[in-house]
A = this chain, B = another copy of it.
Amino acid sequence: MKSFSKEEIKALDKIVRLNLINSVSGYKSANLIGTKGEKGENLALFSSVVHLGASPALLGFIMRPASVPRNTLTNMKLTKKFTINSVSEEIIEKSHFTSANFDEGVSEFEVCKLTPEYMENFEAPFLKESKLKMAMNLEQIIPIELNDTMLIVGSIETIYVEDQALETSGQIDLNLLNTVAISGLNRYHQVKQIANFPYARVSDLPKFN
């Protein structure tokens, strides 16, 4: 096995370190976050959306330091609303390029040819092309002081999902939606189910070799 100590990681070329550290956590979710503010609509790709709890239904994501203008953050603070839109295979390239550093006032929807959609009077724009999307209320911004990032906590206001992917168990079949996974900074992956185990109970433990 190849190993990297803390000191070796620190001494790596910056891009190599970014690639390495961004890939060690495993596969990541791919979601576009939609907001609207004084300078118009904004759509930004995040690979850090994470489940926080089911009751109340809460999701979180990590926001990088606020040292440069972050439209998503500014808009969320203003309106307390945002949308989370899952990324499927059909739109990976457009989604990826929403992360380019566009000039102020430029809408990623427009330059990346993605379609804003407004539903049920919710203030933030959804992504029309997305097959699983959520209206979110900003609940809390928790600072992570160690590296000046933030955990953004949002509660789910509404879930929209294509009918055929919703199972009676409540589970959404992400394979059917062609939802992708991300690794590192710029790799996109197709995903295929290989196992579905029952809830893990001591009494049902399989006989392992």
Chain A interface bracket (under 10, 10 to 19, 20 to 34, 35 or more)? 35 or more
Interface: A22 (CB within 8 A): yes
Tell me what chain A mostly uses at the interface: helix, strand, loop, or mixed.
mixed
Copies of this chain in its oligomeric complex: 2
Q: A165's closest neighbor in chain B, by CB?
A: B2
Q: A139's closest neighbor in chain B, by CB?
A: B146
A187-B196 in contact given A9-B156, A51-B62, A147-B53 (Cβ < 8 Å): yes
A193-B185 in contact given A23-B172, A25-B31, A28-B51 (Cβ < 8 Å): no
The answer to whether A27 and B25 touch across the interface, beta carbons within 8 angstroms, is: no
Q: A47's closest neighbor in chain B, by CB?
A: B51
For the complex, what is the distance from the CA of A149 to the CA of B51, rounded to whole Å?
11
Q: List residues of chain B with CB within 8 A of the CB of A92.
A: 194-195, 197
The answer to whether B142 and A144 touch across the interface, beta carbons within 8 angstroms, is: yes
Interface positions of A from 138 to 184, Cβ below 8 Å from B = 139-140, 142, 144-147, 149, 151, 153, 155-163, 166-167, 169-172, 174-175, 179-181, 183-184
For the complex, what is the distance from the CA of A146 to the CA of B10, rounded to whole Å?
35
For the complex, what is the distance from the CA of A96 to the CA of B198, rounded to whole Å?
9
Residues in A lying within 8 Å of B, measured CB to CB: 1-6, 9-10, 12-31, 47-60, 62, 64, 84, 86-87, 89, 92-94, 96-103, 111-113, 132, 134, 139-140, 142, 144-147, 149, 151, 153, 155-163, 166-167, 169-172, 174-175, 179-181, 183-202, 204-206, 208-209
Q: List residues of chain B with CB within 8 A of the CB of A146.
A: 52-53, 56, 58, 139-140, 153, 155
A63 CB, nearest partner CB in chain B, Å: 11
The answer to whether B174 and A26 touch across the interface, beta carbons within 8 angstroms, is: yes
Q: List residues of chain B with CB within 8 A of the CB of A4.
A: 158-159
